[in-house]
Amino acid sequence: MQARIWALLFLCCISSLISAQDPGRNTPVREKLTLDKGWKFFKGDIPFPVVKGHRESYNNAKAGNALGAAAPNFGDMAWPIVNLPHDWAVEGAFDKAENISQSYRKRGIGWYRRQFKLDPSDRGRHLEIQFDGIATHATIWFNGMVVHRNWSGYTSMYVDITALAKYGDEMNSIAVRVDADDQEGWWYEGAGIYRHSWLVKRSPLHVITDGIFANPIKNESGWTIPAEITLANSGTQPTKADVQVSLLDATGKTVATGQTQTSVTNLGQNIARLTIKVDNPTLWSVDNPYRYWVKTIVKQGTTFVDSLTTTCGFRTIRFDADSGFYLNEKHLKLQGVCNHQDHAGVGMAVPDALWEFRLRKLKEMGVNAYRCAHNPPSVEFLDACDRMGMLVMDENRNFNTSPEYMGQLQWMVRRDRNHPSIILWSVFNEEPMQGSEQGYEMVRRMSAEVKALDTTRPVTAAMNGGLFAPHNVSKAVDVVGFNYQMHIYDRFHKENPTMKLTSSEDASAFQVRGEYKTDKGKNIIDAYDSERALWGATHRGAWKAIVERPYLAGAFVWTGFDYRGEPSPFSWPSASSFFGAMDLCGFPKTAFYIHQAQWVADKPILNMVPHWNWSADSVGKSIKVMVMSNADSVRLVLNGKPVAGQRVDTYEMNTFQVPYSPGKLEAIAYKGGKEIARTKQETTDPPVAVQLVPDRLALDGDGQDAMPITVRVVDKKGREVPTASNVVKLSIKGSGRIIGVGNGDPNSHELEKGDQRSLFNGLAQVIVQADEGIIPVELMASAEGLQPFTLRIPVRKAPLVAAVPMVRPTLQLTEWRMSPFTDSKPNPVIEIAENDMNSWLPTKAAQLQTFAEGRFALFRTSFTLTDSPGETDRTLSLKSLTGKAEVWLNNQLIFTKASEGSEAVRIPFKGMNKTYKLVVLIEAEKAKQAGFGGVVNVE
C-alpha cells in the first residue's frame, strides 16, 4: 500500500493523470472524473413499451426519444443506489438450476441509470464517458439516444457525448441495459458494471483515449522511445498542434524530451510522431520494476490544451527456439500461472487494492508471469503488474476476424501497449479451428492487426491440438503456446526446430485447501497433489516436464487462484474450481508451497502438510507427511524424536509416512550441512478465541481502498486451530464497510455478502473497504463460546478521486410539443390528431418562444410515475415560467399564473403510479418572449 500511496503522490506532483492544469490559467485542461458513485440499479429487465399508433411510431423513430427505462425522463426514484464496481450475480444464492459454469449463479438482465449536470463552462470541451468493463452485453443510451452497443464483457467502451451533452440546470442521463444472460466464457463472468466508469473532459484539441504509444525500444544505437500521439480536434476550425514529450524518472526528474508539430482538421484526427533518445536508463525487471513516466503536453499556439502521463519501462524481451525466454538478455524461465478475475466475497467487482494483494501472494509463491485467462484484464491490474514486476500474457477474448471483433483485439493492444509488464499478446485459447486452413488464415490476420499497432511483443495462441495439421495456427504466430501438450513437446520441437515455444497452460490438478483425505462422495480431493484432470498433470509433473526442456520458455499453471465455476471433476454442490494453488480467498494450498519450493531461489523455503490435529483413533496410524523445500535435505522430528531424513527431491518434494502421535512434528531443512529453516505442525487444544489478522496496517480513506482480513480461531496458547469450522459473526464501525466474505470452500453455499461466515479448515476472509473519512475502522468478530475480537484499523487521510457529483434524482421534463400560436384562447385539453406530426412542433424546456404569430400557445408533454404504490407528495417545478399561464394536469387546472414576468413556480400534487398528461397554456403579448425559460422537473 505504501507503494500505492507514493505512486499516487507522485502522480499528483506531476499533476496530469487525473486533472491537468494549464500552468498559465487555472482551468484544468483534462479532467478524468469517476462516475462510479450513485447509479440507480434495477435487477431484472424492463421491457420496452410496445410502439403502436402513428404518432408513437413517428416519435419512436426520432433521435433522443428512447422509450422505457432508456428514456431520460423515466422515473427511477425508487430504485436503490449502487456504487461501481458492481457484480449483482455474486450477491445472490446458489441455484442448481443455473449454469454450473457460472457458479450456479443467476445472472439475468439489469438496468443502471445515472444523471449528472455539466457546468456551462464545459460547453465546447470534448466530453467522453467510459466504461472499463460491463458483464456481459451492454447497450448504452445518453440523453435518450442509443450511443453504444458492446458485445464483450471484457472490453472498455468509450462514448463521445460532446454533441449531445446539456449544460446548466438541464440534466444529462445515462441508461445502461446489461444482458448477463449472454456469456462469453465457461467460467464465472459476473453480472453488471463490474469495472470503473468515468467522465473525461478535454479541450477540443486533445489526445484521444489510449492515444499515446510510447514504449521504449533498444537497437544497435541504444534506447529510444518512438512516440505516437493521436490527436483529435472537436473544434470548428483546423488547427496546428505543438506536442512535447518528456521522460521523467521515478523521482520526477526530466531525463529526455522531444517535440514536434502537426495539424489536425476540425472533427479530424492526426498522429504526431517523434522519437526521444534515452541514455543508460535503469532497466525494468521482475526484481526491480523501475518505471519511467512519459508526460505528453499539447499546445495550440501558446495555449496549453492537453497533458497526460503514461507509464513505461525499459526492458528487452526475447524468445529463443532453443533456450526459451530472456528478459534484458538474461535467461528467465517463466514461472507462470493462469488466472480468471474473480475473488471471494466480491465476485468480479474486485477493488483495485485487491489486485495488489493477489499479485503479492503470487510473487510470494515465486510466480513471475501471469496469463490473463481468457480475456483482457482491468487496467488497474496491469498497472499493478508494472509496479510490482510481473510479466503478463495479455489475452484476447473472442476469436473472430469480423470487424467488430477485430475492433476488440485492436482495443486491447491500443490500451495496453505501454505496459512494460506485457510480453505476449495471445489471440486465442483452445479454438477448434486451430488445426485448419481457416484457423491459420484468421490468426494470420489477427497477428497482422496486432503488428500494425505493436511490433515489440510476439503474438501467441494457446493451442490444445491441431499442431501437426498441414495448416495450423502455429505457423501464424511468433511463439507457439501449448495447452497440455506434454506428450508432443519433444516431437513438435524436433519437427519445428526454429519455432519458439512455451507452455500456455499446464497442470490442471485438483486440491482442496486443508483436506488430506480424498472423499469423492463429498466432493473433496486431498491437498497432496495426487489428482489431476485427464488432460493435465500434477503440479510437480507439469513443472518437471518444462524444466527438463530448455526450449520451452516456461510454465503457465492452471491456475494460481481458484475461481467460481468449472468445479471439475465435480458438479453441484461444488460451485468453484479445485485447480488453484490458492483458494478463492488467496489462502495457500499445498500446490502453493510446492511451487514456492521449486520457484523461489533467493531464500530458504520450507513448508509441511498436513496439520497435526488428528482424532484419537488415528494415534499410531500412519499419516502421509509432505515437505516442500528448496534446501538440500530435510529431517522430521516428532515430539523431540527423529523420524526420518531425506535428500530434497526438487520435483517430487518429499513424503514421509509418520505414525501419528499428538504433539509437535518438526521439519528441519539443511543446506551445505547447515540448518537453514525449521517449521512445525502442532496438535492444538480446542479454540478459545476468535482472531482477525489484517493484510495491511492501515486503509486509505478514499472510499476505494480495501483489504482482506483473515478470520481464524486460536487455542489457549494462541495457536491457530487448522481444523476449526466455527461460524463467525462480524460487525463494523468507523470509515469502512464489509463488502464480502469467503472461506475458500468450493462446496460452500453460504452467502458471500453479509456479516457472517463459517471457517473452512480454520480460515475465513472478510473484505473491508474504506469509506471516505479518517475514523478508524473497528471490525468485531464473535463466535459462540469463544472470546470475541475487535480489530482496529487506522484509516488514513487520502486524496479522493475527483468525481462527477451525484444529483438529486429528478424526473426532468425535457420533451414538449407546442401548438400553433393562436389569437384566441385555445382549449387546453384538446387532443392532437393521431396523424398530425406537423402542426404541433417538438420543443424543449429551457428555451423561450417568440410569440410572433399569436398571443396563445399550448405546451404539452407526458410523464409516468412508477416509484410508489400509493399517493405520494410530488412537486412540479418550473424554474422560469414566463408569461401568463395555466397548468393542466390530466385535464384538471392545477395552477394559474396572472403575471407576465418570469417566475419560479412550484406546484404540489399527489402523485400515483400512472401516466400523466401535462399541458401548460401560455399567454403573452404579441412578439414577446414567453414559455419555459428554465427546466421543468417533477420532484
Name the residues that contact ligand GAL, by CB under 6 A: 373, 429-430, 464, 483, 505, 508, 533, 536, 558, 566
What are residue 276's DSSP bridge partners? 225
Q: How far is the CB of 364 from ligand GAL (least distance, A)?
A: 24
Instruction: Give the Cα separation of 66 and 63 in Å (integer).
Output: 8
Instruction: Give the Cα separation of 295 and 308 in Å (integer).
Output: 6
Q: How far is the CB of 595 from ligand GAL (least distance, A)?
A: 17
Q: How far is the CB of 185 from ligand GAL (least distance, A)?
A: 8
Least Cα distance to 63 among 145, 139, 142, 163 occurs for 145
Q: How far is the CB of 508 from ligand GAL (least distance, A)?
A: 4
Contact call for residues 714 and 720 (beta carbons, < 8 A): yes
Q: How far is the CB of 128 from ligand GAL (least distance, A)?
A: 34
Instruction: Give the Cα separation of 773 and 769 in Å (integer).
Output: 12
Contact call for residues 480 and 474 (beta carbons, < 8 A): yes
Q: Of 551 and 558, which has the nearer Cβ to ligand GAL?
A: 558
Instruction: Give the Cα separation of 827 and 899 in Å (integer).
Output: 20
Query: If DSSP codes are grouped into helix, strand and coil, which group holds residue 90?
Result: helix
For residue 510, give Cα distances in angstroms to 342, 526, 557, 590. 19, 8, 12, 11
Least Cα distance to 224 among 325, 289, 316, 309 occurs for 316
Q: Of 383 and 505, which has the nearer Cβ to ligand GAL?
A: 505
Cell numbers 454442490 correspond to 573
Q: Of 233 and 502, which has the nearer Cβ to ligand GAL?
A: 502
Q: How far is the CB of 449 from ligand GAL (least distance, A)?
A: 23
Q: Of 234 and 559, which has the nearer Cβ to ligand GAL?
A: 559
For residue 823, give Cα distances in angstroms to 836, 859, 918. 21, 16, 22
Instruction: Give the Cα separation of 623 and 628 in Å (integer).
Output: 16
Least Cα distance to 181 among 92, 247, 108 occurs for 108
Contact call for residues 877 and 813 (beta carbons, < 8 A): no
Residue 593 parent element (H or E): helix 590-599
Q: Of 464 and 761, which has the nearer Cβ to ligand GAL?
A: 464
Q: How far is the CB of 131 from ligand GAL (least distance, A)?
A: 25
Q: How far is the CB of 106 from ligand GAL (least distance, A)?
A: 22
Contact call for residues 423 and 387 (beta carbons, < 8 A): no
Side-chain-side CA neighbours of residue 869 (13 Å): 0
Q: How far is the CB of 505 from ligand GAL (least distance, A)?
A: 5
Q: Of 145 and 533, which has the nearer Cβ to ligand GAL?
A: 533
Which distant-in-sequence residues (6+ apart) come within 8 Å of 534 by Cβ? Answer: none
Q: Where are the beta strands (DSSP E) in 865-914?
A: 872-882, 884-889, 892-897, 902-911
Q: How far is the CB of 558 from ligand GAL (least distance, A)?
A: 5
Q: How far is the CB of 338 from ligand GAL (least distance, A)?
A: 7
Q: Of 173 and 429, which has the nearer Cβ to ligand GAL?
A: 429
Least Cα distance to 309 among 285, 334, 291 occurs for 291
Q: Of 429 and 877, which has the nearer Cβ to ligand GAL?
A: 429
Q: How far is the CB of 534 from ligand GAL (least distance, A)?
A: 9
One-letter amino acid of 731: S
Distance from the Cα of residue 599 to its chain's centroid: 29
Give the residue at shortest CB distance from ligand GAL: 508
Q: Of 483 and 861, which has the nearer Cβ to ligand GAL?
A: 483
Q: How far is the CB of 909 from ligand GAL (least distance, A)?
A: 57
Alpha helices in 454-523 (DSSP H): 489-495
Q: Of 202 and 340, which has the nearer Cβ to ligand GAL?
A: 340
Least Cα distance to 730 among 718, 721, 722, 742 occurs for 742
Q: Of 88 and 484, which has the nearer Cβ to ligand GAL?
A: 484
Q: Of 542 and 924, which has the nearer Cβ to ligand GAL?
A: 542
Taking residue 138's Cβ as centre, other Cβ atoms within 10 Å add up to 23
Q: How far is the CB of 430 from ligand GAL (least distance, A)?
A: 5
Q: Of 533 and 907, which has the nearer Cβ to ligand GAL?
A: 533
Q: How far is the CB of 150 from ligand GAL (least distance, A)?
A: 23
Cell numbers 412550484 correspond to 906
For residue 827, give Cα distances in angstroms to 465, 774, 856, 868, 877. 77, 61, 11, 32, 23
Least Cα distance to 764 among 732, 733, 720 occurs for 720
Q: Of 153 and 701, which has the nearer Cβ to ligand GAL?
A: 153
Q: Of 143 and 429, which has the nearer Cβ to ligand GAL?
A: 429
